Structures are given as structure tokens and as C-alpha cells.
Structure 1
């Protein structure tokens, strides 16, 4: 079973990174909604906001996800842990799917390659936050720190004597 640290000392730093990502996505979405308001939802126009191409649908989704990330990082319990794990995976899967349809009519969110790269990086950072922000009672944290980390394969003792 994988080991997810409990009450990790850098938990606050990871949550700050995730909150900054959420803030960037929220600001990107709000500016994108303002710039693309009145256009078709899935327009494939040439609107760029904060270095990323967007349309009204992607801007609205960004507002929602930015708010969800900020709410997730503000949670003290394990709800934020599970939210960050889920959102990180969603970002990475979305980036891969949109990269697959980048130069086709199926690119309904108007992604560019820079948007794919930023989505992948944000997904990895939010996923890392989810991996390191698990909260537990002090006894569980002490038990997790005392867990002996051994290499997968250790050399067999030499029994020739």
C-alpha cells in the first residue's frame, strides 16, 4: 500500500501553492468571462487571457474550478485532501484529452499547447498538495513517521562462513 504522509510539516506550503494556483485560475476565468461575454459558448476565436487561449465555456469552467481549489485549500480536514487529489487528476486528464484533439474541431474549450502545459503543471502541483496535506490525529502521524522505510529489494545477507 502506498504511504501518504499524515500531518506533513510542509503541508502549509503545499496548500499555499494550491491556493495561488486556484487564485490564478479564478482570475483567469473572471477576465476570460469579461472578454468573451456575448460570444458563443464554444467559440474557437482568438482570445488570450494571462498567456492562455480561452473561450466563454473554458472561462466559466475556470471560475468554478478556481473557486473549488481555493475552497479545498481552506479546508482543515481531509476534505481538502480528497478535493486536491481529485482536482489534480481532473486537470491532468483534461490536459491529455485536449492535447489529443488540439488541432481538430473537437477542441471545444479552445485550448492551445501552452494551455495544455499549464494545465498539466497545475494538475501535478495540486495533486502533490493532495498527497501531502492529509490530516490525522497526532498518534497516527507518529505511527506514520515511525514506519520503517526499506528499499524494495535489499541484498541478501552473506551466509558463507
Structure 2
């Protein structure tokens, strides 16, 4: 069983962080849609918005993705926890896939190296937020603490006692 802290004291900080990332992505997407309106959906042009290269397809996906992250941050609780875990993994995966496709015709989202780096950073931050923003009852916290502090004798400890 994995250890994911429940009711971590820095939960509000992580919630704010994931909300700000969602807001940035949403604003990026809206400006990107405005800048690329009329362009082909998967255009490989040279449109830059807020430091990232984009096309209409990437801008539309960013609006949706940013809205989901921002909504999860507003809702909070375990909804935010699950969204952040999934979104962090998606950020990292998309950054990696698009980095491998960057110099090919399969670069349908018009990524640059900056986009991949930002995707990795956002992915790590959102994933970290997801690891620390789980909410639970007092009973859940107590059970988690019992699990964390349970000691199991190791083979080295057993041999040092002469067992």
C-alpha cells in the first residue's frame, strides 16, 4: 500500500499551486484560440502565446485542460486529489511524447522544446500537489499514522539480537 498523506498541513498551498497552473493554462488557451482563429487546426506555424508555441488544436485542448484543473482546485477535496494525480501524469506523458515527435510531421500540437520543459515542470508540480492534497476523516488520518509508524523487524535487527 502506498503512503499518501491525509490532511497534509500544506494542502492549501498545493491547492493554490495547482489552481494557478490551471489558470495559466486556461488563459494561455483562450489567448491561443484568439491568436490562431482562422488557422488550420493542426497548423505548424510560428504562433507564440505567453512564452509557448501553439496552434488552434493545442489552444483548444489547453482551454479544456485548464478549465478542468481550475474547477478541481475550486471544488477541492478528493476530487482535486484525483484530478491532480491524473493531470500530472498526463502533463509528463504529453511532454515526453511531443518531445520525441517535435522534429517530425507528427508534431500536431506544434510543440517546441520550451513547451516540453514547461509540460514537465507543470506535470511535476501538479503531481506533487496530487500526492499531498488528499482529504480524509480523523479515523482515516489515525489509520494512516498507525500504518506509517508500524515497525517490522528487519533481518539485520533479528540477527543482532541473537535470534
Normalising by structure 1, we get a TM-score of 0.92
Matches within 5 A, 1:57-76: 57-76=57-76
Aligned match of 1:50: 50
Checking the alignment, whether the CA contact within 8 Å between 2:15 and 2:76 is kept in structure 1 is no
Aligned match of 2:118: 118
Cα offsets for 1:11-58 (capped at 9, x unmatched): 110010001101110111111111110000000000001111000100
Q: Which ranges in structure 2 are unaligned for 5 or more consecutive residues?
A: none
Aligned match of 1:148: 149
Aligned match of 1:158: 160
Distance 2:53 2:92 in 1: 17
Aligned match of 1:100: 100
List, as ranges, runs of 4+ consecutive aligned residues in structure 1 with deviation greater than 3 Å.
149-155
Q: Which ranges in structure 1 are unaligned for 5 or more consecutive residues?
A: none
Aligned match of 2:25: 25
Alpha-carbon RMSD across the aligned residues, in angstroms, is 1.8
Distance 1:154 1:47 in 2: 61
With over 3 angstroms needed to count, the CA separation of the structure-2 counterparts of 1:57 and 1:31, relative to structure 1, is same
Distance 2:41 2:102 in 1: 18
Distance 1:125 1:64 in 2: 19
With over 3 angstroms needed to count, the CA separation of the structure-2 counterparts of 1:150 and 1:56, relative to structure 1, is farther
Deviates more, 1:87-96 or 1:145-154: 145-154
Q: CA deviation at 1:154?
A: 7.5
Distance 2:26 2:153 in 1: 42
With over 3 angstroms needed to count, the CA separation of the structure-2 counterparts of 1:121 and 1:149, relative to structure 1, is farther
How many residues end up aligned between the 2 structures? 160
